[in-house]
Amino acid sequence: MNLDPVIQGFLDEAGDLLSDFEAALLELESDPSNPETLNRIFRCAHTIKGNSSMLGMDGVAGFTHVLEDLLDKLRKHEIVLSPPLMDTLLRSVDALKELLTDAKQGQFMDHASHEQLLKEFRSFAVGGEPVSPEADAPPAPAEPPIATETLYEIYFAPPAELMRRGLDPLQFLQALADKGEFLQLTPDLSRLPSLGSMEVENCYLTWTIWLSSKRSKSEIEGCFEFIGDPTAFTIEALSFNDDVGESKPQSPSPSAPKTETRNTKPEALDAGSIRVAIDKVDKLINLVGELVITQSIVAQVVANYAEEKHSILAEAVAQMDRYARELHERVLTVRMIPIKTLFSRFPRLVRDLAAAVDKPVALEIFGEDTELDKTVIEKIGDPLTHLIRNAVDHGIEPVEDRLAAGKPQSGTVRIDAYQQSGNIHIDIADDGKGLDRGKIVAKAIQNGLVSPDQALTEDEIHGLIFRPGFSTAAKVTELSGRGVGMDVVKRNVETLGGSITIQSEAGKGTRFRIKLPLTLAIMDGQALQVGEQIYILPLVAITESVRPAHGSVHCLTGGAEIIMIRDKALPIVRLHRLFGVVPKSEDPTQGLVVIVDYEGRQAALFVDELLAQQQVVIKSLESNFSKVEGVTGATILGDGRVALILDVPGLVLLSKEAGKSATEGPRRKAA
Amino acid sequence: MSKTALIVDDSTTMRRMIGLTLHEAGFAVVEGANGQEGLNRLDGGPVDIIIADVHMPVMDGLSMVQAVRHRDDHRFTPILILTTEKSDNMKERGKQAGASGWIVKPFNPRQLHEVVCRLLRLPCETSSETRRL
């Protein structure tokens, strides 16, 4: 039996359960005795324990077993939820995540590294009854078969209601027959009532059986397990076989009967949803993308040829077009999941951060049901974490400063997610001291990012903190200064086709606004013509396009060209050279330059002309062909032609390298 | 004709694992994530045996067993409950509710298969290799 899908399913499920576990723990902080929440927590640990032990993940199972005991005491109010206990429980979430990661890599066995945590669990649990050793013990090894045949006399009187439990006396007799040989079977009909008063669903017969078997008495007893009534049968060994015939009396279980709890809270999360492998969805999205493209080819052909008599055809094609587009839109939403899955880790993050810097901070989350592409959600996690960390560490002032400024003692970090005009916005705002522009400029001058006499607008100053090599943290604290700067945050957001902006007011706070595309599968692009070829440039990268004036293009020693745009010198990237196509004209004044932003800098792409702006379906070159520098992917245009999607930073890099080899090789004459 | 097993458990992993075990043994499998869903499934087609967890949201296993027993078409259907408690208390409560038997988690899939066969009075062909899970 191939267990891989089961294990994968278990890991997915355990991940969800852990998130819920953590969320419930945090809810408990404000409402420590809510029985519903306590049960939820217990059930999470309970399910993980049960499943992991069945899958042989002894590390996870052992750990959750001890955890479950502790939680059981908690929900029965045998112990109280103290802050140290809360910390321990939260750490158990981290430990479990580690154990599950190990399990994912096939290491099922070890939870020794979390021994300390387990010790804490046990010491918190003290005060209640000691952990039952029996519950922990592996199943008792099967008793060795008895070498000699034993003769058992078995009396079997099935309880009257046996059949109403879906059971049947015959199956017990069959089970006995499997254990040995019936020497004699005597039914006792004395309990049978008269036909008139007989209940057809009741059992009235009893049997006495002589069974010759090599099995032990307890094994024979096992046949009657589901009877659930020790008085319904007796088993006696007739031949004497001291050790084996008389099995040890079964000791009553030392663990006290646990109270059953009924849970009536519906789990809305799972209602009516299915788990589907992401690659299935991606294949579907890809196919539908192809369909839309093929459809638009058909539509174009029909538009060109359809005359009056073909109007029915044209109409049908137009309708098909609408359906294809709607299908495409709907299929794209399949990849969308609520951002809740990501936001759920932030309460914990803020709580830990606030404790570490000793500032009271409240976190407010809005719009957690906003849906976003799964890949975007996965990749936006780190940038958001970084921004939140900054907000708590740098944004929110120490308590004294806040009180002095007449603000409430506790700072607030607010996360908002919402959809606006085809984009998803995520705002991270704090009510702290705001960005200190003077300090930012001073730092930028010190780092040589700007010159001291440069006049900067507010936005330009804010933009400085995204520049590589900039860090305002006067001291590197434990929280910030992990080698990740705001430049990485910006780059990550831009890789996703998004953008980030800052609003900040001194004394009032700072707001970072991240704008993300709804999906990575389609993109707003600008089509460019160079010679016979069409290229797509991501619309977000473009600032403007201009026809260079005579004399604005200069050639530097070494072959590099620059263009002066409003007193700024921008490097020119000649697409026709990089891609080896023949342009309409090599003279920049005969074409256009498109000014693009990349990594905080600008460059000018020289092209023949601009075509339409359009949404394009992105096809990965890497997975279909191989990675090509300067190109992020390809798309198929409405007329069936293939267009490459340009990667601006890659292009600039290529252009520089081409410039270098040009200086080394025969000098080319610049236009 | 193959027998149909209804598996009712709030854990997907558990459902999948039992499902896989019984599927390999030639059973058709239908699933429910809680007692209420389990009950709803009974209207979807014939079910020959029910395997139900005890702790479940919305409707727990014992309430479901009671409800199943009140249906005319499933008064005698074998029902196996899954429990993590070894205590007789749970077995007694299961019995009171009308469950045919119980199996204590964690269990070996082979063990489950045997019990299911026993309840349905089917010959149980277990492969010779022992599967460690």
Tokens of A46: 């309970």
CB B77 within 8 A of CB B104: no
User: Residue B50 is part of a domain; what is its CATH number?
Assistant: 3.40.50.2300
Q: Is residue B14 part of a domain?
A: yes
CA-based nearest residue in chain B for residue A58 = B133
**Measured in whole angstroms, how far is the alpha carbon of residue B98 from the centre of its chain?**
13
H helix or E strand, kind and range, residue A604: strand A601-607
Written as tens digits, the pLDDT of chain B (133 aa) is: 688 999 999 888 888 888 888 888 888 999 999 999 988 888 888 899 999 998 888 888 889 999 998 888 888 899 999 887 767 777 888 888 888 888 887 777 778 888 888 888 887 664 433 333 3
pLDDT (0 to 100) of residue A140: 44
Among candidates B78, B79, B133 on the partner chain, residue whose Cβ is nearest the Cβ of A56: B133
- The domain over range A338-517 is classified in CATH as 3.30.565.10: yes
Does any CB of chain A come closer than 8 Å to the CB of residue B54? Answer: yes
Determine whether A619 is exposed, middle or buried from the number of CB atoms within 10 Å of its CB (0-12, 13-18, 19+).
buried
User: A583: Cβ–Cβ under 8 A, 6 or more apart, which residues?
Assistant: A530, A531, A576, A591, A608
pLDDT in tens, A137-193: 444 444 444 457 778 888 888 888 888 888 888 888 888 888 888 887 888 888 888
Closest CA–CA distance from residue A203 to any residue of chain B (Å) = 13
CA-based nearest residue in chain A for residue B18 = A6
Q: What are the chain B neighbours of A257 within 8 Å (beta carbons)?
A: 85, 87, 89-90
Strand partners, A419: A424
Q: Is residue B129 part of a domain?
A: no
pLDDT exceeds cutoff 80 at A90? yes
CA-based nearest residue in chain B for residue A162 = B100
CA distances B83 to A152, A352, B10, B29, B95, Å, are 32, 37, 13, 20, 13
pLDDT exceeds cutoff 80 at A631? yes
Assigned CATH for A522-664: 2.40.50.180
Q: Is residue B78 part of a domain?
A: yes
pLDDT band at A130 (very low <50, low <70, confident <90, very high): very low
The number of folded domains in chain B is: 1
Nearest-5° Cα angle at A482, A480 to A483 = 120
pLDDT band at A663 (very low <50, low <70, confident <90, very high): low
User: Is the CB of A51 less than 8 angstroms away from the CB of B11?
Assistant: yes
DSSP-derived letter for residue A371 is E
pLDDT in tens, A238-256: 754 444 444 444 444 444 3
User: B23: Cβ–Cβ under 8 A, 6 or more apart, which residues?
Assistant: B29
pLDDT exceeds cutoff 80 at A557? no
Closest CA–CA distance from residue B133 to any residue of chain A (Å) = 5
DSSP-derived letter for residue B106 is S
Q: Is residue B125 part of a domain?
A: no
Contacts 24+ apart (CB under 8 A), A576-583: A576/A530, A576/A531, A576/A606, A577/A655, A577/A658, A578/A630, A578/A651, A578/A654, A578/A655, A578/A658, A579/A530, A579/A533, A579/A535, A579/A644, A581/A530, A581/A531, A581/A532, A581/A533, A582/A531, A582/A532, A583/A530, A583/A531, A583/A608
User: Is the CB of A134 less than 8 angstroms away from the CB of B100?
Assistant: no
Tokens of A146: 């008895």
CB A644 within 8 A of CB A536: yes
Does any CB of chain A come closer than 8 Å to the CB of residue B127? Answer: no
Percent of chain B that is helix, strand, coil (3-state, to 5): 45, 20, 40
pLDDT (0 to 100) of residue A124: 78
pLDDT (0 to 100) of residue A113: 65
User: A383: Cβ–Cβ under 8 A, 6 or more apart, which residues?
Assistant: A488, A489, A492, A493, A514
In terms of residue numbers, what domain contains B68?
4-120
Tell me the average pLDDT across A389-400.
88
pLDDT band at A665 (very low <50, low <70, confident <90, very high): very low
Task: Give the number of beta-carbon pairs within 8 Å between A and B.
Answer: 133
- The domain over range A4-136 is classified in CATH as 1.10.287.1770: no
CA-based nearest residue in chain A for residue B15 = A6
CA-based nearest residue in chain B for residue A7 = B13
Rounded to two decimals, the pTM is: 0.48
Among candidates A135, A175, A266 on the partner chain, residue whose Cβ is nearest the Cβ of B118: A175
pLDDT (0 to 100) of residue A414: 94
Q: Is residue B127 part of a domain?
A: no
Closest CA–CA distance from residue A491 to any residue of chain B (Å) = 38
Q: Is residue B128 part of a domain?
A: no
pLDDT (0 to 100) of residue A376: 85
pLDDT exceeds cutoff 80 at A297? no
Tell me the average pLDDT across A645-664.
76
User: Is the CB of B57 less than 8 angstroms away from the CB of A9?
Assistant: no
Q: Which CATH architecture best describes the domain A150-241?
A: 2-Layer Sandwich (3.30)
Buried residues in A518-546 as b, exposed as e (16+ CB within 10 A):
bbbbbbbbbbbbbeebbbbbbebbbeebe
Candidate ranges A115-119, A336-340, A512-516; pick with highest mean pLDDT: A512-516
pLDDT (0 to 100) of residue A412: 93
Domain range summary for chain A, segments of one domain joined by +: 4-136, 150-241, 278-335, 338-517, 522-664
